[in-house]
Amino acid sequence: MRKILTRVNSERGRFGSQLGVILASAGSAVGLGNIWRFPTEVGKGGGAAFILVYLGFILLMAMPVMLCEFIIGRSAHANAIGAFQKLAPGKPWMAAGIMGVLGGFLVLSFYSVVAGWTLFYTIASASGWLQGETDYNLTFNSFVSNPWHPLIYLAAFLLLTHIVVARGIERGIEHYSKLMMPLLLVIIVVLVGFSMTLPGAADGLRFLLKPDLSKVTPEVVLGAMGQAFFSLSVGMGCLITYSSYFSQETRLVRSALNVCVIDTLVAVLSGFIIFPTVFSVGIAPDAGPGLVFITLPNVFSMIFGKIPFLGYVFALLFYVLLLLAALTSSISMHEICTAFFSEHFKLSRRKAAAIVTTVCLLLGICCSLSFGPWQDVTVFGRGFFDLFDFTVTKFLMPLGGLMMTLFVGWYMDRKLVEQQLTNDGTLSVRLMHPLLLLIRWVSPAGILVIFINELFPLFIK
């Protein structure tokens, strides 16, 4: 049985190199959450103190869940649903895969709406039009509430995602990950350099590097725990799908560690871009979700007024960075669904990708219109965008992650788990027992705490 499970189906495709594995997996994890949500959470959580707690949860909880997805995917060499069907036929564990595919559709639908906004701001920055605006709050609200304009950018972004996924694993996902991830990292380094030159940047650095442990409250701890899972996109089945294309030579523990390092590096460096920038013009570090589309354009405009070239380049590179991060993450969401349709219904990759793109476009239109003409249309008291976001982040991700840790930690054959972690015994994993302890006990307990904390306010309303 073990030999059957580890045999690679050559028709499915596979990553061609270890570098491709790391960059594609890191691209799946790196997204708007690193550059948009992470600085917002850091701002609310008191800066450096939040980051220290966050790093602890990455290592102790989020990375073990990532390893679970790697183990499941490479053991079965199948899509998120098919993997559980192979490893636990006739058992209810398949629900985790179903939640992953459903979550993939929902996330890609509402995520592409925000990514479409990013595409719009990238083009506006490139043309210089954005620097000429005066009321960025009005600009943003009038754009997102327009019934047609956001739909154009939504469709364009989904088309970009579709083109990459339709080309396959090595020629599509791996090839473009090797191009986009290094470019993303280069842009981050350049922007960090720019931000360091701004007056008042030292205050932003102090905020990021000098921990104030008095800021560590239970809310900050729970926020850091949730951000660790959200940032790495674990519990969705993305990495089950990606790891199903891993070769038997891929080192799972090293790959997971590399992905966590890259993901955390991008998030922390984003803080080095944003906080010195906002402190330089006297803006509060906890500006919230409007930071990217309202607050920062104001900052870029101020820089543009003093040093036009620097303001123009800073704004353009920042929104290109956001766009690349959104694209690398959306590709993995698309792939969850495409792999399932292709393998379950025996469709060509191009046909499966076309179905996924079409469905997500229709759902995305509903999400986009919920900011405009359909803002009064609600389901369970929520607009489509908020409903999809709520369903995924509050239910599908934590429940999926919980089931995956329990599946690997308690259901899968111990020898098969060790076989995957040691590459059939060719590697020595010194931390085998601590890793299994984290998978069996620590990560499930943490996910339950997040789940209960998120749901508790719903029951007391």
Task: Please list the pLDDT of the chain residue by residue as tens digits (461 residues).
Answer: 344 344 445 457 899 899 999 999 999 999 887 887 788 788 878 888 899 999 999 999 899 999 999 999 999 999 999 999 999 999 999 999 999 999 999 999 999 999 999 999 999 999 988 777 678 888 899 999 999 999 999 999 999 999 999 999 999 999 999 999 999 999 999 999 988 888 888 888 888 888 888 888 888 888 888 888 878 888 889 999 999 999 989 999 999 999 999 999 999 999 898 888 878 777 666 655 577 888 788 888 877 777 788 889 989 999 999 999 999 999 999 999 999 999 999 999 999 999 999 999 999 999 999 999 999 999 999 999 999 998 998 889 989 999 999 999 999 999 999 999 998 888 877 788 899 999 999 999 989 988 888 776 655 55
Sign of CA dihedral 283, 263, 76, 88: negative
End-to-end Cα spacing for the chain: 51
- Residues ≥6 apart with Cβ < 8 Å to 65: 229, 232, 234, 235, 401, 404, 405, 439, 443, 447
* pTM tops 0.85: yes
- Contacts of residue 166, Cβ cutoff 8 Å, sequence gap at least 6: 172, 349, 350, 353, 354
Q: Which residues contact 69 (CB under 8 A, 6 or more apart)?
A: 234, 237, 238, 239, 240, 243, 404
Predicted pLDDT at 201: 84
pLDDT computed for residue 163 by the predictor: 98
The confidence score (pLDDT) of residue 125 equals: 92
| CA pair distance 174, 182, nearest whole angstrom | 13
DSSP 233-250: TTTSSHHHHHHTT--TT-
DSSP-assigned letter for residue 373: T
Task: Provide the H-helix boundaries in 61-148.
Answer: 63-76, 80-87, 94-127, 136-144
Instruction: Give me the CATH code for the 2-460 domain, please.
Output: 1.20.1740.10
Give the position of tokens 């008291």: 381
**Residue 337 in tokens:** 């669904």
Measure CA 129 to chain center: 29
Q: Where do the domains of the chain lie?
A: 2-460
Structure tokens at 175: 């090839």
Q: Which token pair is 230?
A: 């959200």
CA atoms of 318 and 199, how far apart (whole Å): 19
